[in-house]
Amino acid sequence: MSVDTLELRGLFYLGQAFDFTWQWPTQATHVHFAELLRACPAPGVAHMPYLDACTLHARAAPSGTQWSVSPESGDIACSVNGQALEEGSMAQLHDGDTLEVGLLSFQVHLLAPSAQAHAADLAMQRFVLTDLDEVAPDEGYDTRLRGISDLINTELVTDPAANGPAAAPPSATTEQGDVLSVLHTQYLRKLRDPAYNSDEGHWQGLVQARESAATLDPFDDLKLRAGNENSLSDLVGQAQTIGEVFADLDEAMAHEFMKPDRADSVLHLFAPKELQAQAPAESAATALPGSLAHLLQASLPGLTLREHHSLSLDSAMPLFSDTPDTATKAPTLNTAAPHQALPSP
């Protein structure tokens, strides 16, 4: 292909895209980068310090014109497709290459004479989208007023009252797919007849399934769901009679589940282990000096009793009222009001 024209299209300037197209001047053999920048519309480009950073060259060859670039400054970076060029070197440009000079980047396009003429013809021909409409408009009809629906639908819009009946029957409406009209008709019929159920509704099968399921016996349904599956008790356990089952239940009921638990005092909870072991079995009569029961029977200061035995949110409360034995009767709590004088220790 005989390449006759070099075209540079702007990509980025200072990190931002900019629209710029530059073509090689006719009969020119080399062009300084400054001449290209003077035609660039980007603000401040013509006053940039690297106007002479490189030079573009054109050389005639049997296969067509060859284009190249040569950097002329060691301070301004010049690269082709990301490859930096040394000062004084020369790199050939190909179609689609990316040329970067400083903060400017361009894309190289090599055009043949026929491609250049075709591109010029495309640039001169302007059209609107309505030109793509294959339907010939009526006389006196402005094509710019046509909408997208007119472009998609190629059938001419006519008056429906002139070619068809005023109201379409329900069957015709259903064939046209007017779902809202069908639902509205069924809604009005349901208002007039509450027992009406449309056979065309997708929920009709669900209603029939629920009615058939309501007539099924619950025990039969359980057996149907269980099928032939056996439980773990059936596989590894032994057969039990109804008497054995009730016997186990009677043994469980022998325990006094409803009996209130005995609430231990705070002193009991924090007592040494040897005192905790013997304190529940001791009574006030058999309490040994120095034991926990003896300490409970001793006269303790009112502050200590009120501090550890006052009713609070975390106090242990029996579920049912019960009269404790005299042997395990707890000491009388000092319920004196806080404002009363406390006995001296």
Q: What is the 3-state secondary structure (H, E, C) of 98-128?
A: EEEECCEEEEEEEECHHHHHHHHHHHHCCCC
| pTM to 2 decimal places | 0.33
**CATH architecture for the domain at 5-123:** Sandwich (2.60)
Nearest Cα neighbor of 292 from 315, 310, 274, 306 is 274
Cα 247 to Cα 161, 200, 233, 236, 238: the distances in Å are: 89, 60, 19, 21, 16
Domain positions in the chain are 5-123, 129-156, 164-200
pLDDT in tens, the chain (345 residues): 455 788 888 888 877 887 888 888 888 888 888 888 777 776 666 556 556 778 888 888 887 788 899 888 777 888 899 888 888 888 888 888 998 888 888 899 887 765 544 555 554 555 555 555 555 455 555 555 555 555 555 444 445 445 544 555 555 444 555 888 888 888 888 777 877 776 555 555 555 555 555 666 777 777 777 776 777 776 677 777 888 877 777 776 666 666 666 655 565 566 666 666 554 544 445 555 655 556 555 544 444 544 555 566 666 555 544 445 544 444 444 444 444 444 544
Nearest Cα neighbor of 262 from 319, 304, 308 is 319
